[in-house]
Amino acid sequence: MSNQTKDKILETATRLFYFQGFHGTGLNQIIKESGSPKGSLYHYFPEGKEQLAEEAIVLSKRRIGAVIQHYMNSLRMWRQH
Protein backbone atom coordinates (compact mmCIF):
# COMPACT_ATOMS: atom_id res chain seq x y z
CA MET A 1 0.00 0.00 0.00
CA SER A 2 1.31 3.41 -0.87
CA ASN A 3 0.53 7.02 -0.09
CA GLN A 4 -0.86 7.14 -3.62
CA THR A 5 -3.58 4.73 -2.49
CA LYS A 6 -4.32 6.88 0.56
CA ASP A 7 -4.45 10.00 -1.60
CA LYS A 8 -6.81 8.32 -4.08
CA ILE A 9 -9.18 7.30 -1.27
CA LEU A 10 -9.04 10.79 0.25
CA GLU A 11 -9.59 12.52 -3.11
CA THR A 12 -12.55 10.29 -3.89
CA ALA A 13 -14.09 10.77 -0.45
CA THR A 14 -13.60 14.54 -0.61
CA ARG A 15 -15.40 14.72 -3.96
CA LEU A 16 -18.23 12.47 -2.86
CA PHE A 17 -18.74 14.27 0.45
CA TYR A 18 -18.88 17.57 -1.45
CA PHE A 19 -21.51 16.40 -3.93
CA GLN A 20 -23.50 13.91 -1.83
CA GLY A 21 -22.86 14.97 1.75
CA PHE A 22 -21.49 12.91 4.61
CA HIS A 23 -24.64 10.85 5.16
CA GLY A 24 -25.21 10.35 1.44
CA THR A 25 -21.78 8.81 0.91
CA GLY A 26 -21.01 5.25 1.93
CA LEU A 27 -17.67 3.58 2.48
CA ASN A 28 -18.45 0.96 -0.14
CA GLN A 29 -18.98 3.71 -2.73
CA ILE A 30 -15.68 5.36 -1.76
CA ILE A 31 -13.86 2.03 -2.08
CA LYS A 32 -15.49 1.25 -5.43
CA GLU A 33 -14.93 4.68 -7.00
CA SER A 34 -11.35 4.97 -5.73
CA GLY A 35 -10.51 1.50 -7.03
CA SER A 36 -8.90 0.67 -3.70
CA PRO A 37 -9.22 -2.52 -1.67
CA LYS A 38 -11.33 -2.31 1.48
CA GLY A 39 -8.31 -3.13 3.62
CA SER A 40 -6.56 0.02 2.41
CA LEU A 41 -9.36 2.22 3.65
CA TYR A 42 -9.15 0.76 7.13
CA HIS A 43 -5.35 0.76 7.05
CA TYR A 44 -5.11 4.48 6.32
CA PHE A 45 -8.29 5.53 8.12
CA PRO A 46 -8.62 3.15 11.10
CA GLU A 47 -11.28 5.35 12.72
CA GLY A 48 -13.48 4.94 9.63
CA LYS A 49 -15.72 7.42 7.89
CA GLU A 50 -15.40 10.10 10.56
CA GLN A 51 -11.61 10.20 10.24
CA LEU A 52 -11.90 10.24 6.47
CA ALA A 53 -14.32 13.18 6.65
CA GLU A 54 -12.00 15.08 9.01
CA GLU A 55 -9.08 14.63 6.63
CA ALA A 56 -11.28 15.62 3.67
CA ILE A 57 -12.13 18.86 5.48
CA VAL A 58 -8.45 19.58 6.13
CA LEU A 59 -7.63 18.92 2.47
CA SER A 60 -10.45 21.22 1.31
CA LYS A 61 -9.35 23.90 3.76
CA ARG A 62 -5.80 23.82 2.36
CA ARG A 63 -7.04 24.03 -1.21
CA ILE A 64 -9.40 26.91 -0.50
CA GLY A 65 -6.63 28.72 1.39
CA ALA A 66 -4.27 28.30 -1.57
CA VAL A 67 -6.86 29.72 -3.97
CA ILE A 68 -7.46 32.72 -1.71
CA GLN A 69 -3.72 33.28 -1.31
CA HIS A 70 -3.22 33.14 -5.06
CA TYR A 71 -6.03 35.65 -5.56
CA MET A 72 -4.62 37.99 -2.92
CA ASN A 73 -1.13 37.81 -4.46
CA SER A 74 -2.60 38.58 -7.88
CA LEU A 75 -4.51 41.52 -6.44
CA ARG A 76 -1.34 42.90 -4.82
CA MET A 77 0.54 42.61 -8.12
CA TRP A 78 -2.28 44.37 -9.96
CA ARG A 79 -2.40 47.24 -7.45
CA GLN A 80 1.35 47.79 -7.69
CA HIS A 81 1.11 48.56 -11.40
Q: Dump pLDDT digits (tens) for 48-64.
A: 999 999 999 999 999 99
Q: pTM higher than 0.85 for the full model?
A: no
Secondary structure element (H or E) that encloses residue 56, with its range? helix 49-80
- pLDDT, position 78: 82
Contacts of 4 (CB under 8 A, 6+ apart): none
For the cut 70, the answer to whether the pLDDT of residue 2 exceeds it is no
